[in-house]
Homo-oligomer: A and B are copies of this chain.
């Protein structure tokens, strides 16, 4: 049995607890939060789990092998570092840290101590994203673009901008499904509430190939949208996470270069590009809960010393891009090079 503790019982922590409680091989020993009133809920639902406001108490428990951290972003680094230094394996909420430098130190610490350091990129464990990766590898052909819209009304964060709050999902998904790493990033955005971080942002990722990726995130939208388009030379994908079923649709559509004969003048020129329209297909998806799948993998990695799908390097790559995007945003969209970023090379 792997002894596990959960730190942070706010928005996401209860999901970690509920799922860890069911993972075979996991022994949920502690839940820690600075706000005592939150812990009351733990006691009534999981009477056998210990509760505490003191993080150190957890680290001192020799039966705790691993710590899952779901606290505000600023505390990810100090808590994860302390846990690693105490010899605990760590699963940390995304984004892994508030800066690439801090994320990088966590990577090093975990490597030095030979500990599992996983980052909670939940989406990559959904049936939809696993299918999307398969489709991109097998049927989409040369990748043309990846375009995601992730907008809704709220939930405003005080500590991080909409980029670090919402675009982190898209970057973690792209890190998983695209086999190429971006070489530069441009971002624009703005804040509308005095003293608050950006609430709307647009992010372009540039690649060595002619792939282009774009993410639109917005906390001030009247409608909720969670839609990604992926275009390739052979197929195109629409991934709509709000669809109750048929989240992934594969279109046999595209452009064909018509090399027939010499063209004629004017409008006729355009006809040399033709279009292909065929069937649409919505594959059946694995409907298992992503977090359950992720936590089973984490516990198994701890047990057998394996590397999780979203390992510390994935967390670092995502944070590095977010950092570069924030820099670009501050410069009005100027391209910020990622080529010097070691983890992305």
Contacts and interface: CB of A to CB of B under 8 A. Distances in A.
Interface of A: 10-11, 34-35, 44-45, 47, 72, 144-145, 147, 149, 151, 153-159, 184, 186, 188-193, 196, 200, 202, 204, 206, 210, 212, 214, 216, 218, 220-224, 229, 231, 236-238, 242, 244-246, 249, 251-255, 257, 265-267, 269-270, 272-273, 275, 277-284, 328, 331-335
Given A34-B265, A221-B229, A328-B333, A277 B245 contact: yes
A147 B219 CA distance: 13
Task: Tell which of A216, A229, A257, A328 has the most Cβ of chain B within 10 Å.
Answer: A229
B280 A332 contact: no
Task: Tell which of A210, A222, A265 has the most Cβ of chain B within 10 Å.
Answer: A222
A269 B222 contact: no
Nearest to A269: B158
Contact of A189 (B158, B193, B212, B229): B212
Given A154-B273, A189-B212, A267-B10, A236 B221 contact: yes
A283 B277 contact: no
B273 A196 contact: yes
Contact of A332 (B10, B184, B267): B184
A212 B193 contact: no
Contacts of A246: 280
B281 A280 contact: yes
A214 B220 CA distance: 14
B190 A212 contact: yes
B252 A145 contact: no
Contacts of A153: 253-255, 275, 277
Nearest to A187: B333
A200 B216 contact: no
B214 A238 contact: no
B222 A251 contact: yes
Contacts of A229: 151, 221-223
B277 A284 contact: yes
Number of identical monomers bound together in the oligomeric complex? 4
A194 to B, nearest CB: 8
A145 B202 contact: no
A204 B202 contact: yes
Contacts of A220: 144-145, 231, 236, 254-255
Given A202-B214, A332-B184, A333-B204, A238 B266 contact: no
Contact of A281 (B34, B265, B270, B281): B281
A10 B245 CA distance: 26
A196 to B, nearest CB: 7
Given A212-B190, A238-B223, A155 B10 contact: no
B186 A188 contact: yes
A145 B218 contact: yes
Contacts of A277: 153, 245, 284
Lowest 3 CB-CB distances: which A-B pairs, in order?
A186-B333, A332-B335, A222-B236
Given A34-B266, A253-B153, A266-B35, A284 B279 contact: yes
29 contacts: A34-B266, A44-B45, A72-B266, A145-B190, A145-B218, A149-B149, A153-B255, A155-B270, A156-B273, A157-B270, A158-B270, A184-B332, A189-B212, A190-B212, A191-B210, A192-B255, A193-B273, A206-B332, A214-B216, A216-B216, A220-B254, A245-B280, A277-B284, A281-B281, A282-B282, A333-B333, A333-B334, A333-B335, A334-B335
